Amino acid sequence: RVVQSGAEVKKPGASVKVSCKASGYNFTGYYMHWVRQAPGQGLEWMGWINPNSGDTNYAQQFQDRVTMTRDTSISTAYMELSRLRSDDTAVYYCASSMDVWGQGTTVTVSS
Amino acid sequence: DVVMTQSPLSLPVTLGQPASISCRSSQSLVHSDGNTYLNWFQQRPGQSPRRLIYKVSNRDSGVPDRFSGSGSGTDFTLKISRVEAEDVGVYYCMQSTHWSLTFGGGTKVEIK
């Protein structure tokens, strides 16, 4: 399973870092994806990280604002989004190999 | 990016009756390795998404056999043979053949 960090409230222009801790499987064996869902909207893929190598692949619309990292010693992946805007308000999910999903982390961006 | 178009947007279904959701891609989803990476996800109200089907027609572990996937190239279908109350939610197709991964807009399944 994967367990995500708790809800966050941020001001426009700030950054947020969401964590995703894996357990019960080989963390480094499966890509970790990040997907977000704005209120009442569909799913949007943000990118993935290969926990083994640290290689990343970001969706073009997030290229200049997102950073995905991992700490293999604690089987945890991180997604940091910078220069937050109000339209970044969403539930952010991590999903190991698109198969095992976290519970979601609500990020609210408001002044 | 590859555009994934689902229909219908909303699907009212009578319990015990079949349901069918269509997903079309703007480009062929056949990968250079010969596989077609088309997935289906279910999102029940208030829950995280759950993958049901991968590579067009392979059911994930624990997925009831009333769910089936089919299709090829650019046209794909998810079928529920007999809808149950627990099937209420939004269904998404997603392609992972081309970078970047893209989702369809979703189809809301509800009980009549």
Q: Render pLDDT for B82-91 as a digit per residue (tens, 0 to 9).
A: 999 999 999 9
Query: Which pLDDT value is given to residue B103?
Result: 98
**Which residues are CB-neighbours of A2 under 8 A, at least 6 positions away?**
A20, A21, A22, A23, A94, A95, A96, A100, A101, A102
- Average pLDDT on A21-31 reads 94
- The DSSP secondary-structure symbol of B66 reads T
CB B4 within 8 A of CB A44: no
**Distance between CA atoms of residues A85 and B16, nearest Å:** 45
Chain A residues touching residue B105 (CB < 8 angstroms): 42
Mean predicted confidence (pLDDT) in B54-81: 97
Contact residues of A toward B, CB < 8 A? 33, 35, 42-45, 47, 57, 59-60, 93, 95, 98-99, 101-104
Residue of B nearest to A4 (CA): B48
> Exposed, middle or buried by CB within 10 Å (0-12, 13-18, 19+), for A18?
buried
Q: Up-side HSE of residue B11: CA atoms within 13 Å toward CB? A: 25
Q: Which of A44, A60, A98 sits opposite B39 (nearest CB)?
A: A98
Q: Does B1 touch chain A (CB under 8 A)?
A: yes
Alpha-carbon distance A98 to nearest alpha carbon in chain B (angstroms):
7
Q: How far apart are CA A8 and CA A65, in angstroms?
A: 17
What is the CB neighbour count within 10 angstroms for residue B69? 22
Residue of B nearest to A103 (CA): B48
**Residue whose C-alpha is closest to residue B80's, from B65, B58, B60, B62:** B65
**CB–CB contacts below 8 A, A to B:** 44
| Closest CA relative to residue B87, chosen from B20, B7, B35, B2 | B20
Q: What is the mean pLDDT of chain A?
A: 97
CB A54 within 8 Å of CB A78: no
- Distance CA(B96)–CA(A43), nearest Å, equals 14
% of chain A surpassing 90 pLDDT: 100
Q: Bridge-partner residues for B75, per DSSP?
A: B24, B72
Please give the mean pLDDT across all residues of chain B.
97
CA angle A80, A85, A90 (to 5 degrees): 65
Tell me the residue type at B99.
W
Return d(Cα B2, Cα B36) in angstroms, integer.
Answer: 14
Nearest by CB to A42, which of B54, B60, B92?
B92
User: Is a pLDDT exceeding 90 seen at residue B3?
Assistant: yes
CB interface of B with A, residues 27-86, below 8 Å: 39, 41, 43, 48-51, 54, 60
Query: Can you tell me the mean pLDDT for A25-50?
Result: 96
Q: Is the pLDDT of residue B99 over 90?
A: no
CB within 8 Å: B41 and A43: yes
